[in-house]
Amino acid sequence: MARPPDPTIGIRSLPAADLALGVPRILAAADLRLPLPRALALPVADATPAVLRVELHEGAPAVRSFHFSPPALGTAAPAAPADRDHKPAHRSTRRTRIAPPQDVVKLSERFFYLLQPDLETMLQAGRLEFPRQPFPFQLDGMAFLVPRHGAVLADEMGLGKSMQAISSIRLLVRSGEARQVLVVCPKGLVSNWTRELADWAPELVVAVVEGDPQRRRWQWSLPDVPVKVANYEVLVRDRDLVAGLGLSFDLVVLDEAQRIKNRSSQTSEAVRSVVRRRSWALTGTPVENSADDLVGIFEFVAPGQIHDRMQPRAMGAAVADHVLRRTKDKVLDDMPPRLNRDERIELTAEQRETYRRAEEEGVLRLADMGREATIRHVFELVLRLKQICNFDTATGESAKLDCLQAELEEVQASGRKALVFSQWVETLGRLRENLGRFGALEYHGGMSTTARDEAIRRFRHEKRHSVLLLSYGAGAVGLNLQFSQYVFLFDRWWNPAVEDQAINRAHRIGAVGAVTVTRFLSADTIEERIDEVLRRKRDLSDAILSQAEAPGASGLTAEELFALFKLAPPRSDERPDSVAA
Amino acid sequence: MEVGPDQGGTAHHGEGVGAEAPSYGFLTTVESAAHGLFGGYLVVDVLGRPLEFHCTAPVKVTRAQQILYGSTLHGHLHGRQIGAALLAESKAEPALVLTDQEAMLSVRPHTRLPVALVKRHEPQDGATGGLHVQPHASDAAREGVIRDWLAALGAAVDVCEPFERIRAAIEEAQRH
């Protein structure tokens, strides 16, 4: 038996006879399971080893470059260099950054905002002094306004919207981004604005457009005045003049912008006709009665951004980047508290009788009218009943007045001051007659601007005047009365936004202590039923501005108004969408 | 091109405070786990306002580089690859280039501009915090002038703050 081949041997031994077959035959016959070793012949001398090159350096990375052109340094002198071992003056560690708005999409423009110094640095470097240190949330407000072409600053009343707007205007003027600014405000607030501009931006030259047509034409034409202030009525009157002069503004700021919520009004049209690059609206009540109010404001701020068929949630999402709203409880930890009291007043016996009769007769009349009854008829009944809740039309008795007098004795005794609001000038007059011992002063739209300013001055500076009686219309807007610690709502307004405005004349930045708000509510009357509707309106405003769930109903609809008296609503052609405040 | 302090010959721009309004360069990198290392270079005026901004595409380190550069890899990446590329693109001639990363000091051989490391020390153990300034070794002789420039800038701007802006801008660029 043949021995198996030794696997350790590379070459099998072949029988001698195979060698005669020749190499190919030998190979073919050979067992090729085992590899045959190859011998390599290597030259020894002049050996050049192969080189393996490993690429380490990939070359310079691609670079994107952006160039910016800040205004010439002459517009803001650099601070003097300090000594070599200078420790920079203490700076707040907080840095308020200006973020690019969402509608800025070009990378270079987004970089422009991202690469700016923080606001605190810009203010210090530009030597922009403030009479009072801004709150952090106010710096946030400025960071919000400065980069935006369309913005609504909707902070709760009393948080310093005008200060934030003025400070932002300063930054824009200082950086050369704004040379012509127009501030439009209610007539009664023009002096307020000139005071605040002098306070917060003393370096800015300001002109108030007022007076006879010739004077106004000259004022509109003034070339080197960075800030002009005009009231809404002047703008409506001078609309054609402004257009005829070819005026355009880098920025138009509307104060109390809810004035233009009605898109078809002359005021709204006049404001929108002004040629401008930036449009800012300041309002503590962007939604007063319905979502349409916000649409009206946005026709000025960012036309086409929203429309009135949008659901509240969708509207909230669409305006989110354009609207900034803060409330006191969220931003002011150290704000003096606001103490709310609902004073439930029992009518006097005579008042109750007068009220009962008036309501019965009024409801009967409405029922008799059937479908002929209109909103106006219901409105008139509501107003009449509310007036009886204030003062008995037959006897002049007033349970509310009795309560108010008792409260004011305490206010006067403590050396404090109080504001009393009513929707009727006649009521204010009657209150003044009865509250003479408290030095009551009046403030309403029927007074001249001079008389109103004088009333404020005396109330502010003369101790003997403990009470200021104001109408919601004139007194709820723009006044700074933060030295008053008591607010009485003698009768309620149609919507909570205006009531909040009234309350915030006192409860605002600078308030010296807690502000007590007393809302009079006549028990078992129309006032209690209206109060319920007012609560629902608050929910609407919150729903839009906080993008919460949509509320079931919005505004004081015709159905709701008639439901106050358990009546059927009027004919559809007499029915407005909501009751105007 | 490698330029050191003793080469080039021309006087450094803006030598001594009091010359025309200077600008300042801020050089740093941002690491992204997904993409690699981004470089950013911001030039600001004496009030801290942006004049130029340059940023690189991400640079990824290869395995071969990791092995063969060893401990010199950081300096190579930051200084030679990224820093030099950024400074080469800039048209500005700042008085000073500042960085908050020690590895970036190695850009110095690739530029005529003085380079210094700045870092803020937080207050610790009763000691007050402060600013640590370390010029590149080749600029040690000009430390006095460098501190003067820093003081001029520091009067308006927190000298460590612009690095935050660069990081924010690079983050933004990644989103685009």
The rounded distance, in Å, linking the Cα atoms of A494 and A548 is 23
H/E element, A324: strand A323-324
Chain-centroid distance, C-alpha A427: 34
| Residues of B with Cβ-Cβ distance to A107 under 8 angstroms | 172-173, 176
Rg (CA), chain B: 16
The crossing angle, in degrees rounded to 10, of helices A526-545 and A375-390 is 110
Domain ranges of chain A: 95-331, 338-544+552-563
CATH no. for A95-331: 3.40.50.10810
| Residues of A with Cβ-Cβ distance to B56 under 8 angstroms | 61-64
Candidate from A61, A81, A126 with C-beta closest to B155: A81
Q: Considering only A301-315, A473-487, A496-510, B3-17, which range has the smallest mean pLDDT?
A: B3-17
The rounded distance, in Å, linking the Cα atoms of B28 and B33 is 17
Q: Considering only A384-388, A394-398, A544-548, which range has the smallest mean pLDDT?
A: A544-548
Distance (Å) of CA A152 to CA A164, A194, A277, A281, A295: 12, 21, 15, 5, 12
Q: Given an 8 Å threshold on Cβ–Cβ distance, is B151 in contact with A81?
A: yes
Nearest CA in chain B to A123: B156
Name which residue leads in pLDDT, A36 or A522: A522
Name which residue leads in pLDDT, A158 or A317: A317
| Residues of B with Cβ-Cβ distance to A117 under 8 angstroms | 44, 47-49, 157, 161-162, 165
SS3 A517: strand
| Residues of B with Cβ-Cβ distance to A95 under 8 angstroms | 161, 164
A576 phi, psi to nearest 5 deg: -80, 165
ipTM value of the model? 0.85
Q: Given an 8 Å threshold on Cβ–Cβ distance, is A84 in contact with B158?
A: no
User: What are the tens digits of pLDDT across the range A7-34?
Assistant: 444 444 545 454 444 554 555 555 555 5
pLDDT-derived band at B122, boundaries 50, 70, 90: confident
- The count of CB pairs under 8 A between chains A and B is 147
H/E element, A323: strand A323-324
CATH no. for A338-544+552-563: 3.40.50.300
The rounded distance, in Å, linking the Cα atoms of A155 and A284 is 5
- What's the CA angle centered on A410, arms A407 and A413, to 5 degrees? 150
Q: Given an 8 Å threshold on Cβ–Cβ distance, is A68 in contact with B147?
A: no
CA distance B70 to chain A (A): 12
| C-beta of residue A300 within 8 angstroms of C-beta of residue A251 | no
Chain-centroid distance, C-alpha A467: 31
Q: Considering only A65-79, A87-101, A203-217, which range has the smallest mean pLDDT?
A: A65-79
Mutate: best of A53, A58, A110, A114, partner B, most B CBs <10 A: A114
DSSP states of A42-97: ---SS-------------PPPEEEEE--PPPGGGSPPPPP--TTPPPPP--S----
CA distance B154 to chain A (A): 6
The crossing angle, in degrees rounded to 10, of helices A136-145 and A161-174 is 50
Q: Is the dihedral of CA A282, A287, A292, A293 positive or negative?
A: negative
User: What are the tens digits of pLDDT across the range A418-450?
Assistant: 999 999 999 999 999 999 999 999 999 888 888
- What's the CA angle centered on A44, arms A38 and A46, to 5 degrees? 130
Of A422, A440, A433, the closest CA to residue A396 belongs to A433
Q: What is the pLDDT of residue A341?
A: 74
User: What are the tens digits of pLDDT across the range A456-472?
Assistant: 889 988 989 999 999 88
User: What are the tens digits of pLDDT across the range B45-79?
Assistant: 988 999 999 999 999 888 888 888 889 888 889 99
Q: What is the pLDDT of residue A268?
A: 96
Cβ count near A538 (within 10 Å): 15
User: What are the tens digits of pLDDT across the range A40-79?
Assistant: 666 666 667 777 776 666 678 999 999 998 765 444 434 4
H/E element, B150: helix B143-154
Nearest CA in chain A to B165: A115
